[in-house]
Amino acid sequence: MKIIGIDPGISATGYGILEDGMVTNYGTIRPKKGKTYTKLSEICKKIEGLISSNKPDLAVLEKVFHKKNIQSLLRSSELRGAIILTLANKNIKIVEFAPAQIKLAITGNGRASKQQVRYFVERTMLQNNKKVSSDAIDALAIAYTGVRKMHFQETLLN
């Protein structure tokens, strides 16, 4: 199964693609400066390209969480909505997880730090490649959570 994890961010959106639990692609989409709607469009077009070239079976996103800056929360919500629409239009199944669920799946601790998540992803998935953006690291962690949950569901069904 091929899974794309997406960490939506209006200035940097991370993505990570796993096939049968192995990393096949990852990176960060950094839209040009400009109006929010042009950034949304650029990010969604790049995600469409990733879908076309990688053909994922499942997309995993982090659920939006409360941020102190309401403007940032609104932009994040707009971006998540645009990404969800892009995925739905491509008939990609979507699963969402809360940040604590992702941290729990990665480290065994739902209150783990970003550094602990990064450590796990770098050591186990990227063989110590430390030149990866935090957005791509988060996206790989999100995709890995999807792999773990799918494996758990398959185990329950068998």
Residues forming the active site = 7, 62, 135
Residue whose C-alpha is closest to residue 116's, from 138, 143, 84: 138
Burial class (CB in 10 A: 0-12, 13-18, 19+), 49: exposed
| Residues 17, 50 contacting (CB under 8 angstroms) | yes
Where does 3-133 have alpha helices with state H?
36-54, 70-89, 99-107, 114-120
Residue 97 sits at φ, ψ, to 5 deg, of -130, 145
